Structure 1
Amino acid sequence: MTLPTNFLSAIKLLIPENRLFTDPMTTLAYGTDASFYRLVPQLVIRVESEQEVVAVLKEAHKTQVAVTFRAAGTSLSGQASTDSVLVVLGDHWNGKDIRNDGLQIRLQPGVIGAQANKWLLPYGQKIGPDPASIDTCKIGGILANNASGMCCGTAQNSYSTIRDIRVVLADGTVLDTEQADSVEAFKQSHGELLERLAHLGQEVRANTTLADKIRHKYRLKNTTGLSINALVDYDDPIDILKHIMVGSEGILGFISAVTYNTVPEHPYKASAFIVFPDIETCCKAVPILKQQPVSAVELLDRRSLRSVENKPGLPEWVKTLSDNACALLIESRAASASLLSEQLKQIMASIQPFPMEQKIDFTQNPNEYGKLWAIRKGTFPAVGGVRKMGTSVIIEDVTFPIERLAEAANRLIELFEKHHYDEAILFGHALDGNLHFVFTQDFNNPEQVARYSAFMNDVTQLVAVDFGGALKAEHGTGRNMAPFVELEWGADAWQLMWDIKKLFDPKHILSPDVVLSKNKELHLQNLKPLPEADELVDRCMECGFCEPVCPAKDLTLSPRQRIVIWRDIQAKKRAGQNVDQLMEQYQYYGIDTCAATGLCSMRCPLEINTGALVKKLRAEAANHPKMANWLVNHFATGFKGVRFTLAVAAKGQAVLGTPMMENITHGLRKLTGNRLPRWSSAMPKAAKPLRFVPPATDNRPRVVYFTTCVSRMMGPAVRDFDQVPLVEKTKQLLVKAGYQVVLPEWVNSLCCGQPFDSKGYPEQALQKENELIGVLMETTRQGQDPVYIDTSSCSLHLIEAVKKRGVNLNVYDSVDFIHQFLLEKLDFHPLDENIALHITCSSRHLAENQAFIDIVRNCTTKQVVIPEDIYCCGFAGDKGFNTPELNAHSLRHLKEEVKHCKQGVSNSRTCEVGLSEHSGIDYRSIVYLLDSVTKEKKFSVPDTALQSWSLN
């Protein structure tokens, strides 16, 4: 059914046009979540305030238009899918208010769960819910799904830790339960609703059979249906409302803020990995462990162990375990080291009577127990990584009474065998009787859909009827379990949920068919296709874990959305449809605005690099091979032209002044259809070319300094207070630390190849790469001397190239070299000011985060400020000049984040240009800061040290 014209007209007056999306590409992109359902919204609205939500809901209520809400889109059960109106959160939902020394925290729904925990860490607290997707999912989704995880159980989930809530109801009314005037106003306007809630509570508590059933069901982890336990746990209607909103998945209202009671984050923890000979023994140990001071007990059956047995961190003996083996990953936490030690002894003593096939004893080493937990978290993607292309990965989430866990687990395995899900694995949060099972499903033909239907019928009967368990423990009911809510709860409780739905949403406009549905075939409809598109991305499960680190997210497309649209384009091509218009749109949205840094691969459970796909598409479309070939062979000449352009621009700025220069260049860029690169006040001046001088011979250790093409091209900006070029500043620092600095001969002609690779010219990139490696081998005396590189992206490219070829070259990025070799050789006199730090994408790939922080901490007595949610600056080589909106979008919050800093540091000259422009402070290489706060230590510098090479 199409949306009413009067609704669309009203919405266009309420919401700016640039936040309304109706085109096929964007609605498909936003309409895709982590579930295996595909519904394409007719309209996507990106809202930026509660007032906008109120206005949208009032119009939807008036015109009876269905509305669905979405936060991060990591939900697995289809609760964030719609073919009507999808409301997604924009930028301005990240508010926080930490109260009472961290014992409470007020959060808006756009805050990522892990970010809330970072804010609380200094107080020794955290939020209770701990879903596996906490690095990506947002508070709105965590609360709306009553999501939990490995440690929180039922005692620390949102239902148990919520203090207050602010909601917008279907008619646009706002209630904030922590504000007395809001509560009083609500009692006046919605007294009948509150009276009815109170009456429902009385009826339920009087019905002892139903009340006892509810209490029993919620002793288990349970998110099937609505949180009707609120009706037996509370008698005040405001308390009932507050708690019934938890886990309501958007069908009762929009949650615009929540206040949590936080829980302790104990600093001491340890993990052990115990393998039992069979699943019965394993499950019988669980009730014993539940009585011990454990924070988590994760079960992994033999199939799940087999899926990850080649992962680093597990010993070789895992491959030799018996066919029926089953493991428990156990964690214990404590407030002190001594208490933890006592707990570990107590835990191991409690399970000593059980036969064990193998074990890894408790370890308190973060690296070691981190590897163990990475194994557990790798089980889900392990299945996804080996699935047949075109199939979906499905993860189901059920709860059994813990005393019957062994029997239930074996019955589940029998169902896998009965329905021929041979790849299915079983794991889960054993303390709560909460088991996840993962399998792959082909939805491309009726026979396979029928197999899935038969399997689901058997599973739901087994869980809900035979064992009296919960069909959903923590992933939310969504669309895929909505048809089975009545089976689990019975007619009385099911009708009670419908009564509540009608009370809050009488026109049934909020997320229809989510949680509650009378369509018994709903879970078999609108199944998502996953057509093959490219081997680089075909394994993508569309989970969305990649999205928080993408600089283009909400400007154009995120990595997940790029893959979704590319899949759609390839499917349409195979179907013989014309995709010219779609490809034209995708060129900008999917290709031109991708930074292609590969940060997405670091968040992806399957390490999929969407940037690699984009580079491949650029290579296929690259149409200037002659120019690329010329530049490869005349590199020094080409860069003379770039230096000349930078010199002219700097002269123009000096003569015309910054405001006029900006106006003129902006106008010229507009006249050329944005083909002229953008100029900004942070644009660097031309760097002077380097002149090679043979190195002096002395006894100091040698370091070969490969100064990258961007550093040889770009000097300081006109406004920089330190006008010494980076290459000279680096040389000063290295000499100060006691090194003899050697510059490769013909350095002005050298390039690592990274710029060519990024532009889609891999052959030319390889040619420059080969040339550089050859020169460096000679200059380093066949690898005797280390190589220092001053730009992180070039460091990463060359380090990977050297590793791939097995060449004997010790290549270091500037941060790694400084951290390993310079800190102890310098005398520090730190500044008394905050320093802003931007860790580049390449530094993140090189795992230099902590090293970078350590270096800056040595340079200041105050704070190292790392802006939140800025992972990639979006400058991406030259995109800051040619696609500046990407850089501007990524850094749109930077100025506010660094307002208490006087300077910033990084390790990429181009990134520093964009950072300086959008922050209001100067960002420079870490070398400048380090040189300014250090002096020589314990040795003198020979007079010849500064003569080995020079600037013209």
Structure 2
Amino acid sequence: MTDHSADLSVLAGLLAGSLTTDPDVLATYSLDESEHRPDGAALALVRATCVDDVVATMRFAHERGIPVIPQGARSGLSGGACAVDGCILLSVKAMDRILAVDEENKTVTVEPGIINLDLKNALRPYGLAYPPDPGSVALCSIGGNIATNAGGMCCVKYGVTREYVREITVVLADGTVTRLGHRTVKGVAGLDLTALFTGSEGTLGVIVEATLKLVPLGPDPLSALATFPSVTAAASAVSAYMRTGATPSLLEMMDGTTVGMIQDMTDFGLDATVGAVLIMQSDATTASADAEAFADIVQTHGAVDVAFADNPDDSEMLVAARRSAQTAFEHHAQSHGGGQMLDDVCVPRDRLAEFCDGITRIGKETGIQVAVIAHAGDGNTHPSVFFDNDDPASVTAGYDAFHRIMGLGLELGGTITGEHGVGALKAEWLATELDEGNRRLHRSIKDAVDPTGILNPGKMLSHL
């Protein structure tokens, strides 16, 4: 490998932002929130503060064949932002401005580093909302959300990130700046390259600006919580409820293991003895009636009890409990060997109960503890496997369970990732999910857009 360290002063002189080679800083930025470890040592970190910084970095890297790993908040769970040997880590976290709010056309134009929740809060005074709502809403950036086509808790009614991306500005591998998409409601001029780049995980270009569709800010939602004797019963109730044509703004599931971990960390007033809970939320003007209808359906499909949050504060407390699940998982893992991986398998809703049964079986057969949370209304599950990092046998069993869960999802007609992305952890599984024609299309597109392969190598497309 060519040593490019002497050239870095050239790049540093071109930047309005900063470049560092400090080993401690590089070690910090070489990781995301996944269990994946870096595939080698990074060469440098560029903290971009403007589009010109990204252009300069990509031109520099392209001319020398240096890998570039685009990064935002590094809150990902699939290893998509982790370092590879000799790479430049390109952080756009500092590019976090709101550039324009168009109230008439209900759009907002932002830089990629803005945090999802900060954007939501900034839009409230305008009476507007940006619906995509990942569980890590307070941590994740809009650029990262677009790069992974993030979903979240409100997808069941409002859909995923792709449905809100009107236009993006992207810096390509050779430093070319291009604008993809359109700001108008309709537009079919050319191929839908905006949709192509949304979910491409930094393998095709670096997103430096985005114009997003907004919706009117709705009324405060109301919620209901139903308890069940088992996660399978809760999953069956989900299918029954959604078959009625209901349009909840949120329908989340947590198994009893998850509820227990949450209660161990923070007392949300949940019953840790239940088999599973469903949380339904409605932001419609008919919210009270929606909650009653939910109660009627789930009680005839196995619910033991249903409770109502009849004011916004109590409703938000229920959602806060659900949002705390990943933190509770991390808290539990720290005191039980340190190993934890959150899967992201999405299955058809009518196979959800069967999938949950299979997870229980996999946990028993591998001897691994598995906790399940899910955006149940759209079949997107997040089984979390726990293992002891200091016990090689436990680590092997944990990874076995993680991979068997993905295999089970594919067997049931699902996908290996509903919203977290492929990254490095699931790259070999993408090749399994896609047929040869599909794999060939992916390879051809990658070769056309990034012919030297410098953008995020070793990740999503590496096994195709």
Work out whether the TM-score is over 0.5.
Answer: yes
- In 2, the alpha carbon distance for the partners of 1:403 and 1:71 equals 36
Is residue 180 of structure 2 the alignment partner of residue 177 of structure 1? yes
Per the alignment, do residues 81 and 50 of structure 1 end up closer, same or farther by CA in structure 2, a change over 3 Å counting? same
Per the alignment, do residues 453 and 314 of structure 1 end up closer, same or farther by CA in structure 2, a change over 3 Å counting? closer
- In 2, the alpha carbon distance for the partners of 1:172 and 1:154 equals 38
State which structure, 1 or 2, has the greater radius of gyration over its C-alpha atoms: 1
Is residue 367 of structure 2 the alignment partner of residue 364 of structure 1? no
- In 1, the alpha carbon distance for the partners of 2:327 and 2:136 equals 13
Once the two structures are TM-superposed, the CA of residue 29 in structure 1 deviates from its matched residue by 2.1
User: Where does residue 461 of structure 1 map in the other structure?
Assistant: 407
- In 2, the alpha carbon distance for the partners of 1:389 and 1:350 equals 38
Per the alignment, do residues 429 and 438 of structure 1 end up closer, same or farther by CA in structure 2, a change over 3 Å counting? same
User: Where does residue 571 of structure 1 map in the other structure?
Assistant: none
Give the TM-score taking structure 2 as reference length: 0.91
Once the two structures are TM-superposed, the CA of residue 400 in structure 1 deviates from its matched residue by 0.9
User: Where does residue 117 of structure 2 map in the other structure?
Assistant: 114
Deviation readout 1:92-135 (Å, 9 max, x if unpaired): 44132110347111111011111111121123321131111111
SS at match of 2:144: helix
User: Where does residue 753 of structure 1 map in the other structure?
Assistant: none
Equivalent runs, 1:642-681 vs 2, <5 Å? none
User: Where does residue 230 of structure 2 map in the other structure?
Assistant: 278
User: Where does residue 332 of structure 1 map in the other structure?
Assistant: 282
Deviation readout 1:600-654 (Å, 9 max, x if unpaired): xxxxxxxxxxxxxxxxxxxxxxxxxxxxxxxxxxxxxxxxxxxxxxxxxxxxxxx
Corresponding letter in the other structure for 1:312: D
User: Where does residue 425 of structure 2 map in the other structure?
Assistant: 480
Conserved? CA contact 1:7–1:63, under 8 Å: no
Conserved? CA contact 1:156–1:263, under 8 Å: no
SS at match of 1:428: strand
User: Where does residue 166 of structure 1 map in the other structure?
Assistant: 169
Once the two structures are TM-superposed, the CA of residue 457 in structure 1 deviates from its matched residue by 3.7
Once the two structures are TM-superposed, the CA of residue 159 in structure 1 deviates from its matched residue by 1.0
Per the alignment, do residues 112 and 102 of structure 1 end up closer, same or farther by CA in structure 2, a change over 3 Å counting? farther
Q: 1:305 aligns with which of 250, 259, 270?
A: 259
Is residue 450 of structure 2 the alignment partner of residue 496 of structure 1? no
User: Where does residue 131 of structure 1 map in the other structure?
Assistant: 134
Once the two structures are TM-superposed, the CA of residue 55 in structure 1 deviates from its matched residue by 1.4
Once the two structures are TM-superposed, the CA of residue 147 in structure 1 deviates from its matched residue by 0.9
Q: 2:346 aligns with which of 399, 402, 405?
A: 399
- In 2, the alpha carbon distance for the partners of 1:3 and 1:458 equals 41
* Greater relative contact order (CA < 8 Å, ≥ 6 in sequence): 2
- In 2, the alpha carbon distance for the partners of 1:277 and 1:401 equals 23
Per the alignment, do residues 145 and 92 of structure 1 end up closer, same or farther by CA in structure 2, a change over 3 Å counting? closer
- In 1, the alpha carbon distance for the partners of 2:272 and 2:294 equals 26
SS at match of 1:351: helix
Equivalent runs, 1:536-615 vs 2, <5 Å? none
Once the two structures are TM-superposed, the CA of residue 319 in structure 1 deviates from its matched residue by 4.1
User: Where does structure 1 lack aligned partners over 5 or more consecutive residues?
Assistant: 181-233, 520-952
- In 2, the alpha carbon distance for the partners of 1:249 and 1:81 equals 12
Per the alignment, do residues 419 and 160 of structure 1 end up closer, same or farther by CA in structure 2, a change over 3 Å counting? same
Conserved? CA contact 1:486–1:494, under 8 Å: yes
Equivalent runs, 1:200-349 vs 2, <5 Å? 236-237=189-190, 239-290=191-242, 291-309=245-263, 311-314=266-269, 318-321=271-274, 325-334=275-284, 336=285, 339-349=286-296
Per the alignment, do residues 390 and 330 of structure 1 end up closer, same or farther by CA in structure 2, a change over 3 Å counting? same
Larger relative strand fraction:
2
Conserved? CA contact 1:67–1:509, under 8 Å: yes
Q: How many residues align?
A: 454
- In 2, the alpha carbon distance for the partners of 1:251 and 1:381 equals 29
Identity of aligned residues (%): 28
Once the two structures are TM-superposed, the CA of residue 380 in structure 1 deviates from its matched residue by 2.3
SS at match of 1:294: coil
User: Where does structure 2 lack aligned partners over 5 or more consecutive residues?
Assistant: none
Corresponding letter in the other structure for 1:10: V
Is residue 168 of structure 2 the alignment partner of residue 152 of structure 1? no
SS at match of 1:14: coil
Conserved? CA contact 2:132–2:152, under 8 Å: yes
Conserved? CA contact 1:313–1:368, under 8 Å: no
SS at match of 1:268: coil
Equivalent runs, 1:661-810 vs 2, <5 Å? none
Per the alignment, do residues 10 and 264 of structure 1 end up closer, same or farther by CA in structure 2, a change over 3 Å counting? same
| Stretch of structure 1 that moved more, 401-410 or 302-311 | 302-311
Per the alignment, do residues 153 and 500 of structure 1 end up closer, same or farther by CA in structure 2, a change over 3 Å counting? farther
User: Where does residue 385 of structure 1 map in the other structure?
Assistant: 331
Per the alignment, do residues 154 and 472 of structure 1 end up closer, same or farther by CA in structure 2, a change over 3 Å counting? farther
SS at match of 1:487: helix
Conserved? CA contact 1:270–1:369, under 8 Å: yes
User: Where does residue 200 of structure 1 map in the other structure?
Assistant: none
SS at match of 2:451: coil
User: Where does residue 68 of structure 2 map in the other structure?
Assistant: 67
Corresponding letter in the other structure for 2:226: I
Per the alignment, do residues 131 and 43 of structure 1 end up closer, same or farther by CA in structure 2, a change over 3 Å counting? same
Once the two structures are TM-superposed, the CA of residue 162 in structure 1 deviates from its matched residue by 1.2
User: Where does residue 77 of structure 1 map in the other structure?
Assistant: 78
Per the alignment, do residues 12 and 444 of structure 1 end up closer, same or farther by CA in structure 2, a change over 3 Å counting? same
Conserved? CA contact 2:170–2:207, under 8 Å: yes
| Stretch of structure 1 that moved more, 88-97 or 29-38 | 88-97
Larger relative helix fraction:
1
Give the TM-score taking structure 1 as reference length: 0.46
User: Where does residue 13 of structure 1 map in the other structure?
Assistant: 13
Once the two structures are TM-superposed, the CA of residue 279 in structure 1 deviates from its matched residue by 3.0
